[in-house]
Structure 1
Amino acid sequence: MDASSAYQDTLPISSDALVARLDEWGLAYRLHEHVPLRTVEDAKAVEAQFMVPGETALRIKNLYLRDKKKRNHLVTLEQSRDIDLKALGAELGIGNLSFGSADRLLQNLGIRPGAVSPLAMITGVENGVTFYMDAAAQDADVICMHPLVNDRTVVMTRVDVLRFFDKIGCDVVWI
């Protein structure tokens, strides 16, 4: 199965259910449907259409990682940042990091490869995943994220993203 909305009903929380929860909580967003985006390059090709002139947007990439103690981490960074896992592990004080498997991604964040998103912390919180977010998010007007599938993008204000984390009980570690 791929990470598109065609298979969302096989996830612990579907994209539609997540969007309904955003509505229920009064969190504003703009929802865009598009071809599946599997890479940062794919996203760069379409994300300009999501923006409002004058809006400062944080475009992100997300890493599902495990440390040597088998703890799970979701790291959300500005999409153009270069990643050195050894240096990142040292910066976070958690040692050696490696990418988590697709099976663990589904088990711990409730998503498939290609749809990794901060919004997946709605499941990750329950499974003890630690969430790290690029400090650049604190200066962005909006943040573009997949709503658990890779053929949709939600654009949310920074304030509403932080309200989402509060609603689900997610502590954000700023890096």
Structure 2
Amino acid sequence: MTDAPASAAPKTRQELLAYLDSLGISHATKDHAPVFTVAESVSLRDEIPGGHTKNLFVKDKKDQFFLLTVEENASVDLKTVHTIIGAASKVSFGKPEKLMEYLGVIPGSVTAFGAINDVHNNVTFVLDEDLMKEEVINCHPLSNDATTSIGREDLIRFLEATGHTPLVLKVTA
């Protein structure tokens, strides 16, 4: 990872935001009560403009892991998405242990910002084409008690800075 030391402990929100600053990436973070589902986060829409995300951490039979970041209300067909993302087989949800090991987050806090913890590039990041039409993308800053807003190009720049080349694909119905 560029400019960020690899360590066993997952990065904190403060470390993530400092990393964004070091890249010259503009961002804004709003604290709120923890939200575990898209339904719980709907109340924040008026306060936080932009595209809100839903993240699916999936794997194929060869243990290739993918993080699908889509607009919060979009649906993804898990029976066919493997043909779009280049998986070796149909995908299933990754286990919470792998989510913590690779992205440094727990279920309910899954975010594209987890790339900062994926120092061995175990995860392929897939950004949905429809979500990327939004000027501003909103993601959890490694925990579900805040939302960080970032420009769509800056999200790609962040992912690339962590050593990941995100795939921008139409993965939603």
TM-score, structure 2 length as denominator? 0.87
1:106-150 superposed Cα distances (whole Å, 9 cap, x missing partner): 001111111101111112252421111101233211000001000
Looking at structure 2, the residues matched to 65 and 38 of structure 1 have their Cα atoms a distance apart, in angstroms, of 18
- Report the AA paired with residue 64 of structure 2: R
Q: How does 1:23-62 map to 2 (within 5 A)?
A: 23-51=21-49, 57-62=50-55
Looking at structure 2, the residues matched to 81 and 110 of structure 1 have their Cα atoms a distance apart, in angstroms, of 25
1:54 equivalent in structure 2: none
- Report the AA paired with residue 58 of structure 1: G
Query: Among 38, 59, 66, which residue is 2:59 paired with?
Result: 66
Query: What is the RMSD computed on CA atoms of the aligned residues?
Result: 1.6
Q: Where does the alignment leave 5 or more consecutive residues of structure 1 unmatched? A: 1-9, 52-56
1:159 Cα shift?
A: 2.2
1:122 equivalent in structure 2: 116
1:164 Cα shift?
A: 1.0
Q: Which moved more, 1:133-142 or 1:32-41?
A: 133-142
Looking at structure 1, the residues matched to 166 and 119 of structure 2 have their Cα atoms a distance apart, in angstroms, of 11
2:96 equivalent in structure 1: 102
Query: Among 128, 142, 165, which residue is 1:171 paired with?
Result: 165
Given that 2:121 and 2:164 are in contact with CA atoms closer than 8 Å, whether structure 1 keeps it comes out as no
1:12 equivalent in structure 2: 10
Runs of 4+ in 1 over 3 A off after TM superposition: none
1:166 Cα shift?
A: 2.4
1:48 Cα shift?
A: 2.0
Instruction: Give percent identity, aligned residues only.
Output: 32
Structure that is richer in helix per residue: 1
Secondary structure of 2:120's counterpart equals helix
Given that 1:58 and 1:136 are in contact with CA atoms closer than 8 Å, whether structure 2 keeps it comes out as no
Looking at structure 1, the residues matched to 63 and 155 of structure 2 have their Cα atoms a distance apart, in angstroms, of 28
Q: Where does the alignment leave 5 or more consecutive residues of structure 2 unmatched? A: 1-7
TM-score, structure 1 length as denominator? 0.86
1:158 equivalent in structure 2: 152
Given that 1:38 and 1:150 are in contact with CA atoms closer than 8 Å, whether structure 2 keeps it comes out as yes
